[in-house]
Structures are given as structure tokens and as C-alpha cells.
């Protein structure tokens, strides 16, 4: 379980993106993390991954402090940031360099997910477009078989067909032991994937609850608008 207790963080002195913020992420769920620009969604993912250190409060990932960057914890965690680049090497060489750090990496699963994106494993990463790189990196992240997977705006840059393929790929990579947190504004791209929705605004968790079993009837965009507007009227 990921436990976030009363954390505060800011990029500049005397300012806070998050202040006295608390939240838990439980095992085996696919979370949608929603909020306006500047509410700290990306920052929260980087804090949980240990890439940033809170000014106050405490974060634990299965008992580990993520900022200590313990190898056992890191081997069970993967983050897909909104923007990134890949080295100019073959995919196979890149995967070979990653596998020692992720002991449950599944090359067979990687190949199946690449196939779902109409891609093959014999590609040169340096020759890919930004959208293709995103698809490859998503496949790598899922094939790592980590318990925790964080994705920040994963469908940005994907075309309409690729967004549909993305949903199928995530389903292939999900398991009962895995927790996936997807931070996004493109709610219609992911709403059928999600078990839980977390809405944050102004350092508060406005909603943290399961979605209805009939996901096709859930309009996350309207849900987000309703929850934020209702809170502001109080």
C-alpha cells in the first residue's frame, strides 16, 4: 500500500504545490488521478516515486520511504512521465539493460503488447516518432511487472486508434497484485479502465471512491465538473 500522510511540497521557498495533503493507494486497483492544471498531480507521482522529497509529512510504499531509493522498492515501481526521450539504440538492447533492475520483466508480454500497438520488437528507438516512443515506453512499463505503475498523461500524443489500443494494452498488463495510477486530463481515453477515481483541488481530496460497475455509463468529465463546482459552492 502507498500511504501519503500530511505532506507538503513546493518548488520555490514560501510556496506550496501540496500542503498537509493525505491519500492512500491500495493494491490491485486502477486509479484515475484528476485535477486542474497546477493542483500537483504530476508532483504527487514524482514524490511517491522518490524523485522529489516532501518538505514535511511522510510517504511510505510498502513500508519504504521512497526518497531513500531502496533497490527492493525501486524494482517494484515504474513511472511513465508525460515527457521523456529514449536512447538511440535497438529496443532489444534497451530492454536487456533494464531487465536486471526488474526481476519479473516479461519479454513475452512485451511482445504481445507491442503487437497490440501494431509494432514489433526489432525496432530502433532512435528512429521513432514521439507517439511511437510513447507506445513503446508504455509497453516496457507494463512488461516490467512492477507492483506499482504510475502514468502521467499517457495518451497525450497518441492518435485515435492508438488510444483504443492503449486501453487494450493496459488491460493485458493488469493483475490483482498491481496498482496503476493514471494522472490525466484526457478522461474519456481512460474512464473504462478505472476502478477508482481520485479528484484533488486546492490541497484537498474532493473524491476518493470506486466507480460504478457499469463503467460505460460513467462520464468522468462531467463527474469532475460536478464535484469541483459543488465543493466551491460550499
Any idea which of 38-47, 170-179, 224-233 has the lowest mean pLDDT? 224-233
Residue 5, classed as helix, strand or coil, is strand
| pLDDT for residue 104 is more than 80 | yes
pLDDT given at position 233: 67
Residues 168-223: tens digit of each pLDDT: 999 888 888 899 999 999 898 998 899 999 999 878 899 999 987 665 667 888 88
pLDDT given at position 211: 86
Residue 13, classed as helix, strand or coil, is coil
Closest CA to 178 of 77, 109, 94, 39: 77
pLDDT given at position 214: 61
Q: Give the Cβ contact number of residue 132 at 10 Å.
A: 18
What is the SS3 assignment for 18-64?
A: EEEEEEEECCCCEEEEECCCCCCHHHHHHHHCCCCCCCEEEEEECCE
The cell numbers describing 117, all together, are 500497438
Residues 139-170: tens digit of each pLDDT: 999 999 999 999 999 999 899 999 999 999 99
pLDDT given at position 114: 94
pLDDT given at position 85: 86
DSSP state of 12: S
Structural domains of the chain ordered from first start: 2-232 (3.40.50.300)
Question: What span, in angstroms and rounded, lies between the C-alpha atoms of 138 and 6?
Answer: 31
From the centroid of its chain, how far is CA 109? 19
Question: What span, in angstroms and rounded, lies between the C-alpha atoms of 130 and 191?
Answer: 24
pLDDT given at position 74: 95
Question: What span, in angstroms and rounded, lies between the C-alpha atoms of 225 and 37?
Answer: 14
| pLDDT for residue 69 is more than 70 | yes
Look-up: residue for cell 464535484? 227
Reported as a pLDDT band with limits 50, 70 and 90, residue 14 is: confident
| pLDDT for residue 97 is more than 80 | yes
DSSP state of 90: B
pLDDT given at position 121: 87
pLDDT given at position 213: 67
Sequence-separated (6 or more) residues with CB below 8 Å from residue 194: 30, 31, 32, 182, 211, 215, 220
Residues 26-42: tens digit of each pLDDT: 999 999 999 998 899 99
Contacts of 170-173 spanning 24+ positions with Cβ under 8 A = 170/30, 170/142, 172/109, 172/112, 172/113, 172/116, 172/142, 173/109, 173/113, 173/142, 173/143, 173/149
Q: Give the Cβ contact number of residue 124 at 10 Å.
A: 11
Question: What span, in angstroms and rounded, lies between the C-alpha atoms of 196 and 32?
Answer: 6
Mean pLDDT score of the chain? 91
Reported as a pLDDT band with limits 50, 70 and 90, residue 234 is: low
Amino acid at each position: 500500500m502507498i500511504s501519503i500522510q500530511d505532506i507538503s511540497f513546493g518548488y520555490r521557498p514560501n510556496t506550496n504545490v501540496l500542503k498537509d495533503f493525505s491519500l492512500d493507494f491500495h493494491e490491485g486497483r486502477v486509479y484515475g488521478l484528476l485535477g486542474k492544471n497546477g493542483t500537483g498531480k504530476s508532483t504527487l507521482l514524482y514524490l511517491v516515486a522518490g524523485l522529489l522529497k516532501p518538505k514535511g509529512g511522510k510517504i511510505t510504499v510498502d513500508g519504504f520511504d521512497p526518497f531513500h531509493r531502496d533497490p527492493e522498492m525501486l524494482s517494484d515501481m515504474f513511472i511513465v512521465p508525460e515527457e521523456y526521450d529514449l536512447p538511440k539504440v535497438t529496443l532489444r538492447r534497451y530492454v536487456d539493460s533494464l531487465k536486471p533492475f526488474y526481476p519479473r520483466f516479461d519479454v513475452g508480454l512485451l511482445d504481445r503488447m507491442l503487437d497490440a500497438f501494431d509494432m514489433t520488437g526489432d525496432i530502433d528507438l532512435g528512429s521513432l516518432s514521439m507517439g511511437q516512443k510513447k507506445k513503446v515506453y508504455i509497453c516496457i512499463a507494463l512488461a516490467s511487472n512492477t507492483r506499482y505503475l504510475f502514468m502521467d498523461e499517457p495518451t497525450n500524443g497518441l492518435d485515435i486508434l492508438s488510444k483504443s489500443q492503449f486501453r487494450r494494452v493496459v488491460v493485458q498488463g493488469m493483475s490483482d497484485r498491481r496498482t496503476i495510477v493514471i494522472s490525466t486530463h484526457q478522461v474519456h481515453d481512460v474512464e473504462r479502465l478505472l476502478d477508482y477515481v481520485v479528484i484533488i483541488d486546492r490541497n484537498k481530496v474532493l473524491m476518493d471512491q470506486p466507480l460504478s460497475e457499469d463503467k460505460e455509463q460513467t462520464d468522468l468529465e462531467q463527474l469532475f465538473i460536478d464535484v469541483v463546482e459543488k465543493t466551491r459552492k460550499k
